């Protein structure tokens, strides 16, 4: 197997596993987790083996042609950045599958859950390894869709359905913005893959449309990564089962936006716009998320808001884009994925074992769940930035990056200190408070979690510790290649988990000090934030509901006004429009037909036919009842057919005869069905406008036809048909040859339309007849009718 | 409609019309006629029969549901177009054979079966609509 096809198989394997997951779960129950976790584990190993080649700065680009006519390829780009993401996704993915095996044990829908989570994993891998811009987009939207399915997993609950819908609208809508941005980039540069684009950053940044491109791309990245003011879907997404919150909504999917920004940093970064917008939104998100986090007492909600804050921090760092800021972003991204995923899983364990996630109802669990407590503390120490955890290394680098420089950086530094202090308080509120203090009564009697539940968070917490203890190897394998790929030049990170005397350490200590103060005063802080939010009273979450409700109201109003359900208003609108279309353009452009040439000698029989047609008109208008009017309408039709016949168009005449006959028959039948009064009793005020519309339409058609006949006749086509009808198509009747041979495909389409029209008319008649019959005779359910149906 | 004259004339008239419609269909390639016109004539015949004897009689005489007739016509037309694919020529290319039957050369072509398909679609589709409308009238 060649390297390309092997990678393709690896990328497709989650999708294959997803298809088999329900079957495996039916056969093996929750134990299927052990089997299914082998797939992400295998992917992890596969990517880990690529690491030696990539860490030296090499890249792997392979793929297949997708739409060759447009030059689009299904291809992948594996460098330091995508490799680190792929390792996170597959590694955490394996642990999440195991965790879900324990968490949803006994749930009848567990097989479906495994299928969704594996589908998501495949999509997310696709996002980070895609080289083609449009394969990236397809996978990007796939992650939105799988996220929708996972958030709405417990679809019997209205809150879950709303959250799923909201997440899909926000992230899917952002995806469309991303698509527009990518199309614009493609259009301007002509490059449709990232590897080509990375070398063409100058062109993109110099393009006049660069601000538009950037804003569209940010529309995709900010919605996905829950940046203020698009953040509201993320806390609501906590309706999903905890494995989903840990995996999608903290460790991986929400980082797709950050990934995209990091990926495009060499292409679009470094401009004034980039360095203004990103830090601004990032800082706002960091502060908002951290403040909102302390308001909640639900463990998952607290963690969700700190995730939002962390994403803001990452966007802010990517926005500043200095060398050290990129290094800090890389370290923090990995550290965050590990400790936040672990903390989410811990909150799930607490929920699973005690029956509640409410912080105020939990306490003293340390004796019942010592292992979970240890895991939680390890994650919280990393999140709080203690030596010797990866979180500490990341935080030192953040402060080192921000604390040197201009006023903007210093302001960002203050925001970071405040945000980190709040997150510190939340970390220990989640990891320490439920386990410490006096034991509180919980809905379920707490026990230590089974191995499937604690294995995942344990590995992740431990990884956060080991990555820092063995910092040189970690940097060589992960962070240096990743930072190099983002920066677009070789970077070496060599930070050790040791205190660096100076400003960063002082800021770290300050953060811890403020954090402890916040932790101690958490209850009063929560009350203060709640009071503030109640005073404001409105948020984007409510705004979303208002927007959707407004949209529905608007759609209803439009439908009501366009479709009042009255046939005469439809007819009036239609024919007024027909008259306008026919009359306005010639008048506006001065293209009215000239008075026609009237021949001197017209044979008497032609005059007679014209007279007959003219007689038809008063016959229709002055007919006593509707039926007579319909039949009289046939007079004109037959006269026109006669004229066709006289001027050598027998086919047309034939058809016209038959159509006239049948339309009179069918119209008559329809009229009897409609149960109208036999005669037309419109008042004069209605007759006059209707007559005016009718005359305008007739005049329009007449002028149009006269104009058409003024134009010299182009005989190219008729010459061709005349010349080749016999030799090519063996037919002397040109009309028929055109219908069945030269334009046969048209005819095929037309008869298909006839067929569809007949089917729809038939169903309309049946619906109506069924409704009437039911109203008349409710007892008769399936009325027997003459003939077969 | 309860008219003795119509009931007496209808069978003969309808048979003639159906026969004529097939004649018009078959001669269409060289002289005025074709599937559309032929189909319309046949529908007119069906309507007359229905007016004379009621819709039930027409449905029994047709044996198949009109929509089935229309559907098979569409299928026949599509297949006639697809035959060309087996001869390596583009979709809808007319193919001709002229077998000699009883000493007479009979030209047969996919365009002919295509036109028969058109005929069946028109008969079936418009016939179905007309019959349903007539039926409702009978009942109410």
Instruction: Transcribe A752-767 into DSSP letters.
Output: HHHHHHHHHHHHHHHH
List Cβ<8 Å contacts ≥24 apart for A645-654.
Answer: A646/A605, A646/A606, A646/A609, A650/B32, A651/A733, A651/A735, A651/A736, A651/B32, A651/B33, A651/B34, A651/B37, A652/A735, A654/B24, A654/B32, A654/B33, A654/B37
For residue A440, give the 3-state DSSP assignment.
Answer: coil
CB contact A654 to B (< 8 Å): yes
The minimum CA-CA distance between B10 and chain A, rounded to whole Å, is: 16
**Residue A82 resides in a domain:** yes
Range in A48-62, A112-126, A596-610, A763-777 the model is least confident about: A763-777
Q: What residues of chain A, 754 to 773, have a C-beta less than 8 Å from chain B? A: 754-755, 757-759, 761-762, 765-766, 769, 772
CATH of the domain at A601: 1.20.120
The minimum CA-CA distance between A744 and chain B, rounded to whole Å, is: 6
> What is the mean predicted confidence (pLDDT) over A254-262?
94
Token pair of A412 as six digits: 């960002």
CB contact A708 to B (< 8 Å): no
Last residue of a domain, one of A236, A269, A302: A269
Residues A252 and A287 in one domain: no
Residues A143 and A291 in one domain: no
Q: Under a CB-based contact definition with an 8 Å cutoff, are residues A322 and A403 in contact?
A: no
**Residue A788 resides in a domain:** no
Residues A662 and A593 in one domain: yes
Q: B29–A758: do the CB atoms touch at under 8 Å? A: no
Q: Under a CB-based contact definition with an 8 Å cutoff, are residues B91 and B84 in contact?
A: yes
pLDDT at B140: 43
CB contact B8 to A (< 8 Å): no
> What is the mean predicted confidence (pLDDT) over A664-672?
80
pLDDT at A39: 94
> What is the mean predicted confidence (pLDDT) over A364-382?
90
Element (H or E) spanning B66, and its range? helix B66-82
The minimum CA-CA distance between B95 and chain A, rounded to whole Å, is: 9
List pLDDT tens digits, range B69-123: 999 999 999 998 888 878 878 787 778 777 777 777 777 788 889 999 999 999 9
Percent of the residues in chain A that have a pLDDT greater than 70, as a whole number: 97
The minimum CA-CA distance between B42 and chain A, rounded to whole Å, is: 10
What is the rounded CA–CA span in Å between residue A283 and residue B123? 72
Q: How many CB atoms lie within 10 A of CB A233?
A: 26
CB contact A736 to B (< 8 Å): yes
Tell whether the model's pLDDT for residue A782 goes beyond 50: no
List pLDDT tens digits, range A66-80: 878 887 888 889 988
pLDDT at A772: 57
**Residue A736 resides in a domain:** no
What range does the domain containing A352 cover?
Answer: 270-520
ipTM for the predicted complex comes to: 0.89
Q: Where are the beta strands (DSSP E) in A360-415?
A: none
| Torsion of the alpha carbons at A666, A670, A673 and A676, rounded to the nearest 10 | -140
**Residue A134 resides in a domain:** yes
What is the rounded CA–CA span in Å between residue A175 and residue A219? 8
Q: Which residue of A has its CA nearest to B71?
A: A755
Q: How far apart are the first and last CA of chain B?
A: 14
**Residue A772 resides in a domain:** no
Element (H or E) spanning B105, and its range? strand B104-105
Query: Could you tell me which of A109, A106, A102 has the C-alpha nearest to residue A21?
Result: A109
Last residue of a domain, one of A237, A269, A301: A269
Residues A642 and A710 in one domain: yes
**Residue A463 resides in a domain:** yes
Residues A265 and A276 in one domain: no
List pLDDT tens digits, range A228-254: 889 999 999 998 999 999 998 888 899
What is the rounded CA–CA span in Å between residue A132 and residue A127? 10
CB contact A195 to B (< 8 Å): no
Q: Under a CB-based contact definition with an 8 Å cutoff, are residues A343 and A376 in contact?
A: yes
Interface test with chain A among B57, B78, B92, by most A beta carbons within 10 Å: B92
Tell whether the model's pLDDT for residue A687 goes beyond 80: yes
> What is the mean predicted confidence (pLDDT) over A259-280?
92
Residues A486 and A588 in one domain: no
CB contact B83 to A (< 8 Å): no
The minimum CA-CA distance between B132 and chain A, rounded to whole Å, is: 7
> What is the mean predicted confidence (pLDDT) over A624-651?
85
Query: Could you tell me which of B2, B137, B13, B42 has the C-alpha nearest to residue A668?
Result: B137
Size of interface A-B (CB pairs under 8 A): 164
A732, A740, A758 member nearest B126 (Cβ): A758
Token pair of A411 as six digits: 């302001």
Q: How far apart are the first and last CA of chain A?
A: 59
Taking contacts as CB-CB distances below 8 angstroms, the residues of chain B near A752 are 74
Residues A18 and A156 in one domain: yes
β-strands A60-67, A72-78: how paired?
A: antiparallel
Q: Under a CB-based contact definition with an 8 Å cutoff, are residues A693 and A572 in contact?
A: yes
**Residue A742 resides in a domain:** no
pLDDT at A721: 83
Q: A786–B59: do the CB atoms touch at under 8 Å? A: yes
Token pair of A274 as six digits: 């980039």
Q: A751–B121: do the CB atoms touch at under 8 Å? A: yes
pLDDT band at A340 (very low <50, low <70, confident <90, very high): very high
Residues A191 and A157 in one domain: yes
- Residues A501-535, buried b or exposed e (16+ Cβ, 10 A)? eeebeebbeebbebbeebbeebeebbeebeeeeee
Tell whether the model's pLDDT for residue A788 goes beyond 50: no
Q: B132–A751: do the CB atoms touch at under 8 Å? A: no
How many angstroms from the chain centroid is the CA of residue B121?
A: 7
CB contact B11 to A (< 8 Å): no
pLDDT at A567: 80
Last residue of a domain, one of A230, A254, A269: A269
Tell whether the model's pLDDT for residue A786 goes beyond 50: no
List pLDDT tens digits, range B11-60: 999 999 999 999 999 888 888 888 888 999 999 999 889 888 888 899 99
Residues A214 and A104 in one domain: yes
pLDDT at B28: 83
Number of structural domains found in chain A: 3
> What is the mean predicted confidence (pLDDT) over A453-463?
93
pLDDT at A773: 55
β-strands B104-105, B100-101: how paired?
A: antiparallel
What is the rounded CA–CA span in Å between residue A485 and residue A751? 59
Tell whether the model's pLDDT for residue B3 goes beyond 70: yes
Residues A255 and A285 in one domain: no
**Residue A111 resides in a domain:** yes
Residues A261 and A304 in one domain: no
Q: Based on C-alpha coordinates, what's the Rg of chain A?
A: 36
pLDDT at A1: 57
Residues A240 and A324 in one domain: no
List Cβ<8 Å contacts ≥24 apart for A502-506.
Answer: A503/A399, A503/A400, A503/A403, A503/A404, A504/A396, A504/A397, A504/A399, A504/A400, A504/A403, A505/A396
List pLDDT tens digits, range A218-229: 999 999 999 988
Chain-wide mean pLDDT for chain A?
Answer: 88
Token pair of A232 as six digits: 């509201």
The minimum CA-CA distance between A182 and chain B, rounded to whole Å, is: 38
List pLDDT tens digits, range A192-218: 889 889 888 888 999 999 999 999 999
């Amino acid at each position: 197997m060649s390297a390309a096809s092997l990678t393709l198989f690896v990328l497709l394997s989650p999708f294959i596993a997803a298809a088999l997951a329900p079957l495996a779960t039916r056969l093996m129950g929750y134990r299927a987790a052990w089997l299914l976790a082998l797939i992400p584990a295998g992917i992890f190993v596969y990517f880990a083996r690529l690491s030696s080649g990539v860490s030296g700065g090499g890249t792997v680009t392979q793929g297949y042609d997708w739409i060759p006519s447009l030059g689009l390829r299904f291809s992948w780009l594996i460098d330091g950045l995508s490799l680190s993401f792929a390792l996170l996704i597959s590694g955490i993915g394996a642990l999440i599958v195991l965790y879900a095996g324990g968490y949803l044990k006994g749930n009848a829908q567990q097989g479906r859950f495994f299928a969704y989570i594996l589908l998501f994993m495949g999509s997310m891998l696709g996002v980070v390894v895609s080289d083609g811009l449009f394969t990236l987009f397809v996978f990007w939207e796939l992650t939105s869709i799988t996220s929708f399915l996972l958030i709405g997993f417990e679809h019997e609950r209205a809150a879950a359905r709303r959250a799923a819908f909201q997440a899909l609208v926000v992230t899917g809508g952002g995806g469309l913005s991303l698509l527009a941005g990518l199309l614009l980039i493609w259009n301007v540069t002509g490059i449709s893959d990232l590897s080509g684009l990375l070398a063409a950053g100058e062109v993109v940044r110099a393009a006049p449309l660069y601000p538009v491109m950037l804003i569209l791309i940010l529309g995709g990245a900010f919605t996905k990564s829950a940046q203020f003011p698009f953040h509201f879907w993320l806390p609501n997404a906590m309706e999903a089962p905890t494995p989903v919150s840990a995996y999608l909504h903290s460790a991986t999917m929400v980082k797709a936006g950050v990934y995209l920004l990091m990926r495009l940093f060499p292409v679009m970064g470094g401009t004034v716009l980039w360095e203004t917008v990103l830090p601004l939104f990032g800082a706002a998100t960091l502060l908002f998320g951290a403040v909102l986090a302390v308001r909640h007492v639900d463990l998952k909600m607290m963690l969700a808001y700190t995730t939002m804050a962390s994403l803001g921090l990452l966007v802010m760092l990517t926005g500043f884009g200095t060398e050290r800021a990129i290094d800090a972003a890389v370290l923090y991204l990995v550290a965050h994925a590990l400790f936040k995923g672990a903390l989410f899983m811990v909150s799930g364990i607490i929920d699973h074992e005690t029956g509640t996630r409410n912080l105020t109802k939990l306490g003293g669990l340390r004796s019942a769940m010592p292992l979970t407590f240890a895991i939680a503390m390890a994650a919280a120490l990393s999140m709080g930035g203690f030596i010797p955890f990866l979180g500490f290394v990341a935080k030192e680098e953040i402060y080192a990056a921000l604390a040197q420089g201009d006023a903007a950086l210093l302001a960002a530094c203050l925001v970071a200190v405040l945000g980190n202090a709040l997150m510190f308080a939340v970390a220990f509120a989640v990891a320490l408070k439920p386990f410490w203090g006096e034991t509180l009564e919980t809905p379920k009697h707490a026990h230590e979690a089974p191995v499937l539940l604690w294995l995942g968070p344990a590995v992740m917490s431990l990884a956060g510790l080991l990555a820092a203890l063995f910092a040189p190897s970690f940097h060589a394998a992960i962070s240096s290649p990743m930072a190099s790929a983002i920066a677009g030049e070789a970077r070496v990170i060599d930070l050790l988990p040791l205190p660096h005397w100076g400003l960063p350490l002082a800021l770290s200590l300050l953060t811890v000090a403020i954090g402890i103060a916040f932790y101690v005063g958490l209850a009063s802080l929560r009350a203060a934030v709640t009071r503030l939010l109640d005073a404001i009273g409105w948020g984007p979450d409510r705004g979303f509901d208002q927007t959707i409700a407004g949209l529905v109201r608007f759609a209803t109003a439009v439908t009501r006004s366009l479709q009042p359900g009255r046939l005469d208003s439809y007819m009036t609108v239609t024919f007024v429009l027909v008259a306008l279309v026919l009359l306005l353009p010639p008048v506006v452009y001065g293209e009215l037909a000239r008075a026609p040439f009237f021949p001197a000698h017209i044979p008497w029989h032609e005059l007679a036919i014209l007279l007959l047609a003219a007689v038809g008109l008063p016959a229709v208008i002055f007919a006593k009842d509707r039926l007579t009017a319909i039949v009289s309408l046939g007079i004109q039709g037959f006269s026109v057919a006669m004229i066709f016949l006289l001027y050598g168009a027998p086919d047309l005449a034939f058809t016209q005869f038959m159509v006239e006959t049948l339309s009179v028959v069918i119209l008559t039948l329809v009229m009897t069905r409609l149960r109208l009064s036999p005669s037309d009793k419109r008042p004069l005020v209605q007759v006059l406008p209707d007559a005016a519309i009718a005359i305008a339409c007739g005049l329009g058609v007449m002028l149009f036809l006269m104009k058409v006949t003024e134009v010299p006749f182009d005989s190219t086509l008729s010459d061709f048909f005349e010349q080749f009808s016999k030799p090519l198509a063996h037919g002397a009747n040109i009309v028929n040859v055109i219908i069945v041979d030269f334009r046969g495909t048209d005819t095929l389409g037309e008869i298909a339309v006839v067929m569809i029209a007949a089917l729809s008319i038939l169903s309309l008649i049946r619906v109506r007849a069924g409704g009437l019959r039911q109203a008349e005779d409710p007892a008769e359910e399936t009325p027997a009718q003459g003939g077969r149906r | 409609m309860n008219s003795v004259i119509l009931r007496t004339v209808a069978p003969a008239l309808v048979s003639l019309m159906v026969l004529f419609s097939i004649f018009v269909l078959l001669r269409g390639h060289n002289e005025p006629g074709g599937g559309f016109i032929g189909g319309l004539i046949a529908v007119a015949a069906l309507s007359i029969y229905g007016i004379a004897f009621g819709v039930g009689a027409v449905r029994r005489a047709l044996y198949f549901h009109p929509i089935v007739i229309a559907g098979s016509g569409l299928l026949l037309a599509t297949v006639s177009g697809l035959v060309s694919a087996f001869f390596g020529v583009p979709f809808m290319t007319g193919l001709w054979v002229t077998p000699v039957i009883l000493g007479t050369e009979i030209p047969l072509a996919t365009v002919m079966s295509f036109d028969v398909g058109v005929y069946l679609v028109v008969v079936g589709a418009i016939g179905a609509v007309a019959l349903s409308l007539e039926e409702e009238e009978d009942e109410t």
